[in-house]
Amino acid sequence: MTVDSDRNATTSTADTLRLVRDGGVLWVRLHRPESRNGVNDTMRDELVAALTTADEDPEVRCIVIAGSGDDFCVGADLAASGPPPTTPLAFRRPMQPYQELFRIIWELETPVISAVRGRVAGIGWMLALLADIVVASEDARWTHVFGRRGMVPHAGDPYFLPRILPLRVVTEIAMLGDTLKSEDLYRYHAINRVVADADVETTAKELAARLAVGPTLSLGQTKRLYRRSLASDITTAFAEESAASAMLSQTRDRVEGMMSLMEGRRPEFTGS
C-alpha cells in the first residue's frame, strides 16, 4: 500500500482505507462507512501493510488513525466473515492475524494518534486505545461487546487493555458490557483529550503537527522503552534504556537538541 509522493495527496489503492499524507503526518482513515467501519479481513491486512510501511518510512513522522462517516469502528464485520467456525481449533486460527495487527500497532515506533468519533465497539477499542495519544469526541460511545455475545475478549484485548485501564475497571467493563462515554474513559486516564465532536480531527491535526517536527527517533525509542517495561524485569529495562541512549547519542537530533540548549534557542529537529 502506497501514498502518492506529492504531499497533501490522497491515494486509495484498496476499498477499505484512505491514506492522506500531510507533510510528515500520515492519516490512515478506516473507510467502510456502510458497515460503520467494521473490520473485515481485507481491512485488517491493509492496515498491517499501511502501518508497517509507514513505520519504515523516515518521511512519516506521525500517524493518525480515524474513521470515515459518523463512526470510528464498531469492531469486526461479522457479516463479512462467513459462517462461524464449528470446532474449538478453528476458532483459534482466525484470531491470530488480528492479534498480529494489534501487536504491530503496540510496537510501532512512529508516534500514533487516534481521532475517535461516533461508535467504538469490539476490536475498535484497541484501534483507538493502542494509540499514543487518544483524542475522542464527547459524544462518542464505547461498547465492549464480547460479554454481551457470550464470548471472551479476544484478538489481543486481554493483553492490551489491562495495560491501559485499571484491572477492576476493565473487568467491570468486560463483564457488564455497559456503553461508556468518552468522559468515563478520560476519568480512567485511557483518553488524552475529550473535545466537541466538530473539534476531534482539528485537535488531532494540531497534536500530530507537533509530533511531526519532534525528534522522531527519540520519540520512537521512548515509546519502546515504556511499553517494553510493562513486561520486563528491572535489569532488562535498565539495559535497554542504556542501549537506547547509546544508540541515539550521535544522531543529528540529539546533537541539535544539545546545541540548541547551549545556544538558548528552539531546536530544529529533522527526524534523523
Give me the residue label for grid cell 545556544. 263
Buried b (16+ CB within 10 A) or exposed e, 218-230: bbbbbbebebeee
Domain spanning 10-212, CATH class: alpha beta
pLDDT above 80 for 88: no
The pLDDT, as a whole number, for residue 151 is 77
Reported as half-sphere exposure (CB side, CA atoms, 13 A), residue 190 has a value of 25
Q: What CATH number belongs to 216-263?
A: 1.10.12
The pLDDT, as a whole number, for residue 149 is 72
The residue ranges of every structural domain in the chain are: 10-212, 216-263
Listed range (49-58, 84-93, 188-197) with the worst mean pLDDT: 84-93
Listed range (76-90, 165-179, 208-222) with the worst mean pLDDT: 76-90
pLDDT above 70 for 93: no
What are the cell numbers at 211?
509530533
Span 250-270, average pLDDT: 90
Neighbours of 23 (CB within 10 A): 15
Higher pLDDT, 96 or 210: 210
Q: Distance (Å, rounded) from C-alpha 14 to C-alpha 3?
A: 12
Q: Evaluate if pTM is beyond 0.85.
A: yes
pLDDT above 50 for 16: yes
Q: Distance (Å, rounded) from C-alpha 120 to C-alpha 143?
A: 6
